[in-house]
Homo-oligomer: A and B are copies of this chain.
Amino acid sequence: MSSTAKCSPHEPGDKQNDKPDNAANHKRNHEEPMSTTPQSMPRRATITDVAREAGTGKTSISRYLNGEISVLSPELRARIEAAIARLDYQPNQMARGLKRGRNRLIGMLLADLTNPYSIEVLQGVEAACHALGLMPLICHAANEVEMERRYLQLLTTYRVEGVIVNATGVREETLRPVGGGGIPAVLVDRLVDGLVADMVGLDNRAAAELGTRHLLDNGFDDIWFVVQPFEQVSSRQLREAAFRETMSARHAEGGNSGGEGAARGHTLVLNLADAGEVERGLAELDRAIDAAAGAAGKPARIALFAANAPVALRLALHLKARYGADWQARAALLSIDDPDWAELTGVTTIRQPTYEIGYRAVEFLHERIEGIQTTARDCLLPGELIVRASTLR
Q: Which residues of A contact B (CB under 8 A)?
A: 1-7, 9-10, 12, 19-20, 22-23, 26, 28-38, 40-41, 44, 90-95, 97-98, 103, 113-114, 119, 122-123, 126-127, 135-140, 153-154, 156-159, 179-184, 191, 196-197, 200, 203, 205-206, 209-210, 213, 313, 316-317, 320, 325, 339-341, 343-346, 353, 356, 359-360, 363, 367-385
Most buried by B among A36, A157, A346, A356: A36
Of A156, A157, A206, chain B has the most CB atoms within 10 Å of the CB of A157
Say yes or no: A210 contacts B7, CB within 8 Å.
no
Query: By the criterion CB–CB under 8 Å, are B359 and A23 in contact?
Result: no
Contacting residues, chain B, for A30 (C-beta < 8 A): 196, 375-376
* Interface contact A316-B339, CB-CB below 8 Å: no
Contact B140 A126 (CB under 8 A): yes
Question: A213: shortest Cβ distance to chain B, in Å?
Answer: 8
User: Are A90 and B153 closer than 8 Å at their CB atoms?
Assistant: yes
Taking a contact as CB atoms under 8 Å apart, the answer to whether A10 and B363 are in contact is yes
A136-B138 contact, Cβ under 8 Å, with A2-B203, A378-B6: yes
Contacting residues, chain B, for A139 (C-beta < 8 A):
126
CB-defined contacts of A93 to chain B, threshold 8 Å? 157-159
For residue A171, give the distance in angstroms from its CB to the closest CB of chain B: 17
A138 vs B316: C-alpha distance in the bound complex, in angstroms?
A: 32
Total identical chains: 2
In the complex, what residues of B have CB within 8 A of residue A113's CB? 119, 122-123, 126
A38 CA to B101 CA in the complex, in Å?
10
Q: A93-B158, A344-B313 are in contact. Are A379 and B210 (CB under 8 A)?
A: no
Q: Is the CB of A94 within 8 A of B103?
A: yes
What are 20 A-B pairs at a CB distance below 8 A?
Answer: A1-B210, A2-B209, A5-B379, A6-B203, A7-B379, A9-B356, A12-B359, A26-B379, A29-B375, A30-B376, A34-B373, A92-B157, A92-B159, A93-B159, A98-B98, A113-B126, A313-B340, A339-B340, A341-B341, A341-B344
Q: Which residues of B sit under 8 angstroms from A31, Cβ to Cβ?
A: 375
The verdict on A180 contacting B34 (CB below 8 Å), with A5-B381, A203-B6, A367-B19 known, is: yes
**For A37, A122, A343, which residue has the most chain B Cβ atoms within 10 angstroms?**
A37
Q: CA separation between A183 and B87, bound complex, in Å?
A: 16
| Inter-chain contact A34/B375, CB cutoff 8 Å | yes
- CA of A29 to CA of B374 in the docked complex: distance in angstroms? 11
Look across to chain B and name the residue whose beta carbon is closest to the beta carbon of A39. Answer: B371
Interface centre among A135, A179, A339, A375 (most CB of B within 10 A): A375
Which of A19, A40, A119, A367: most chain B CB closer than 10 A?
A19
Residue of B nearest to A42 (CB): B181
Smallest beta-carbon distance A65→chain B, Å: 11
